[in-house]
Chain A
Amino acid sequence: MSLESTLMSHSPLSISVPELLEVKIIDKLANKRLPGDLAMWFFILAELTVFAIFFIGFAIAEQLHSDMFIVSKAKLHPIAGLINTIALITSSLFIALSVRAIHLNQVKRSINLLVISQVIACVYLVVKIWEYQFLFNIGIDIETNTFFTLYFLITFFHFMHVLLGMVILLIIGINAKKGAYQEDISGFESGASYWHMVDMLWIILFPLIYVI
């Protein structure tokens, strides 16, 4: 039995199905439960801790070697950083829409949105690889100075997280196609939460390393 007919048959009130679904969504949104699984949030917390230590280390190193950091930052490509920021935020928006669709049990729409989000994430990957290549070509690598040691460590670690996030989204996309989120969408939300973490980290990383 489809969700709509289930809702119709059990509804004591004569309100329309779309209205009911709307109520259901609002209820879910109003309910301040933790989306996804607690275990995933523990993992996210651990990930955020690593990045927090990296960012603190970067900030301290910047205070200690401010001249070196100013000169080195000037060698980065801010436009590439900006493109990546836009790519990741947009990708995250599509994942948010995808979660919304899965809430409404619109599986196909949800998968399409997820695929769009992944395609946009690929923009990030291409630009980031180009950026590394650009730096290598002008003779800069991880051992150039403390700034670039941290630049490469932090951004590459983040790059690996983007890849891991994409793998996670691929898995939940396949699961969604198999109909695994008909009853419980917790797994889907867990993957989406991880992806939001990845782009949130970039939003801190970009100004810290490229701009300020």
Chain B
Amino acid sequence: MNTLKYQSQAVAKPYFIFALILFVGQILFGLVMGLQYVVGDFLAGAIPFNVARMVHTNLLIVWLLFGFMGAAYYMVPEESETELYSPKLAIILFWIFAAAGVATILGYLLVPYSTLAHYTLNELWPTMGREFLEQPTITKIGIVIVCLGFLFNLGMTILKGRKTAINMVLMTGLIGLAVFFLFAFYNPTNLALDKYFWWFVVHLWVEGVWELIMGAILAYVLIKVTGVDREVIEKWLYVIIAMALISGILGTGHHFYWLTTPEYWQWVGSIFSAIEPLPFFAMVLYAFNMVNRRRREHPNKAATLWALGTSVMAFLGAGVWGFLHTLAPVNYYTHGSQITAAHGHMAFYGAYAMIVMTIISYAMPKLRGIGEANCNRAQVREMWGFWLMTVAMVFITLFLTGAGVLQVWLQRIPESGEALSFMVTQDKLAIFYWLREIAGVFFLIGLISYISSFWVKEKIAS
């Protein structure tokens, strides 16, 4: 059964499927690494801790990018009321991106990182070796080419079709994503400068332009599942992105506290970070408000659950757990501790993993020719996945927060002579790491439950 309004939307399907495959990989490597925190020798020969960490974080970034691209290919034709400019280009770019991604991950796993750098001629234009941006230069160039082709395809589609606020916000976010990635090619030898510009990619992605992408996807799904007037939803979208950009861009200051930058960054960073939770809180109010004012009962209850869930978890993870350690006097102690890890986990899951799951949940039944929604049994299984993963992530965050508070207490607060060293402190945190690992296993069970929902069919009455 063909349930797509525009046939070219179908190109989103491989992007979503590949995103979910990478998501599973990310969680498996997360579990390996989580165990290595407490059993240091576990698979240490085959997958050293630094490699597991690199694969865990890189898979996260790449699967989210696949998710965003899939979302854009699905949403833009419908919003523009026209077919995608070139479905063929979208599929070619999919294979290029997938092949480059797989080759890079295999490179991480099969050869030492320095050998990979040598093979890929890193010395000609050194960009490797920085957290999240470990990809060889050639892969980075590939990412830029894929992004350019992707933006060209979307841009041409939008130009020939209807212009909506959702498309504009989405495109602004995606163009910003590509532009800020260019700072990955700038790698100053001065460590302070290196970090300074590194944040231009990392921070301005997750606390800047990605929020626009999230806002646009959320607005799109809310229009579809609630039937509320586009004007009302778009108005809130504008307010939210205005707040997100003002607070997010100036909030970059919270990364500049200890980089030998002028003192005013401590004021700018502290104050604007303090309002970073507000756009996320607005998203909670807006998502629940729109669902309460719904004009239709959409059969895809799971997609609505993801939409509401992402707003709440993004507020908690990105908003509240972010604010927990962004005031300069607090960050003086907590900088780079497990509190950061706690925030990172819940924020990435709540804001970005869940928004991608939201659009996948909404779009997949249509892409698979099932119709508006999966059958009830499949939705129930999917919701089990939602709750298991979300509750597990709350516990992962709480355990890491406990570890972080103890770490700060033992390692950072005492005067220099009395403070424990980094590794001695890590030993004291073992109980928290074990509990985090257990919560991680529950997360994996949730993910398996979610993935398995794709194969669940309605029982035929005997």
Residues of A within 8 A of B (CB): 37, 39-40, 42-43, 46, 49-50, 53-54, 57, 142-143, 146, 149-150, 152-153
* The stretch of B104-112, B267-275, B380-388 that contacts the partner chain: B267-275
Interface centre among A39, A43, A149, A152 (most CB of B within 10 A): A39
Sample (30) of A-B pairs whose CB atoms are under 8 Å apart: A37-B235, A39-B235, A39-B236, A39-B238, A39-B239, A40-B239, A42-B282, A43-B242, A43-B243, A46-B275, A46-B279, A46-B282, A49-B274, A49-B275, A49-B278, A50-B272, A50-B274, A50-B275, A53-B275, A57-B267, A57-B271, A142-B262, A142-B264, A143-B262, A143-B263, A143-B264, A149-B264, A153-B264, A153-B267, A153-B268
Report the minimum CB–CB distance from B307 to chain A (whole Å). 19
Q: Is the interface of B mostly helix, strand, loop or mixed?
A: helix
Q: A49-B278, A143-B262, A149-B264 are in contact. Are A42 and B271 (CB under 8 A)?
A: no
Give chain B interface residues in 222-255, CB to chain A under 8 Å.
235-236, 238-239, 242-243, 247
Closest to A50 in B: B275
CA A152 to CA B264, docked complex, whole Å: 10
Say yes or no: B267 contacts A149, CB within 8 Å. Answer: yes
Q: Residues of B contacting A146 with CB < 8 Å?
A: 263
Q: Residues of A contacting B264 with CB < 8 Å?
A: 142-143, 149, 152-153
CA A28 to CA B376, docked complex, whole Å: 50
Report the minimum CB–CB distance from A65 to chain B (whole Å). 13
Say yes or no: A53 contacts B274, CB within 8 Å. Answer: yes
Give chain B interface residues in 270-300, CB to chain A under 8 Å.
270-272, 274-275, 278-279, 282, 285
Q: Residues of A contacting B279 with CB < 8 Å?
A: 46
Q: A37-B235, A39-B236 are in contact. Are A149 and B275 (CB under 8 A)?
A: no
CA A200 to CA B192, docked complex, whole Å: 40
Q: Residues of B contacting A54 with CB < 8 Å?
A: 271
Closest to B232 in A: A39
CA A118 to CA B242, docked complex, whole Å: 23
Report the minimum CB–CB distance from B231 to chain A (whole Å). 11
CA A115 to CA B247, docked complex, whole Å: 31
Give the residue of A42, A57, A149, A153 whose beta carbon is less than 8 angstroms from that of B239.
A42
Q: Residues of A contacting B272 with CB < 8 Å?
A: 50
Report the minimum CB–CB distance from A43 to chain B (whole Å). 5
Say yes or no: A53 contacts B271, CB within 8 Å. Answer: yes
CA A153 to CA B270, docked complex, whole Å: 13
5 pairs of A and B residues whose beta carbons are closest in the complex: A39-B239, A149-B264, A46-B278, A39-B235, A43-B239
CA A37 to CA B236, docked complex, whole Å: 10
Report the minimum CB–CB distance from A53 to chain B (whole Å). 5
Say yes or no: A46 contacts B267, CB within 8 Å. Answer: no
CA A168 to CA B262, docked complex, whole Å: 33
CA A142 to CA B268, docked complex, whole Å: 12
Q: Residues of A contacting B242 with CB < 8 Å?
A: 43
Closest to A43 in B: B239
Report the minimum CB–CB distance from A59 to chain B (whole Å). 13
Closest to B278 in A: A46
Q: Residues of A contacting B236 with CB < 8 Å?
A: 39
Closest to B238 in A: A39
CA A143 to CA B263, docked complex, whole Å: 7
Q: A39-B236, A42-B239, A49-B278 are in contact. Are A149 and B271 (CB under 8 A)?
A: no
Q: Residues of A contacting B243 with CB < 8 Å?
A: 43, 46
Q: Residues of A contacting B263 with CB < 8 Å?
A: 143, 146, 149
CA A165 to CA B243, docked complex, whole Å: 15
CA A57 to CA B272, docked complex, whole Å: 12
Closest to B285 in A: A42
Report the minimum CB–CB distance from B460 to chain A (whole Å). 48
Q: Residues of B contacting A150 with CB < 8 Å?
A: 267
Having A43-B243, A53-B275, A54-B271, one finds 18 other A-B pairs with CB under 8 Å, namely: A43-B239, A43-B242, A46-B278, A49-B274, A49-B275, A50-B247, A50-B271, A50-B272, A50-B274, A53-B271, A57-B270, A57-B271, A142-B262, A143-B263, A143-B264, A146-B263, A149-B263, A149-B264
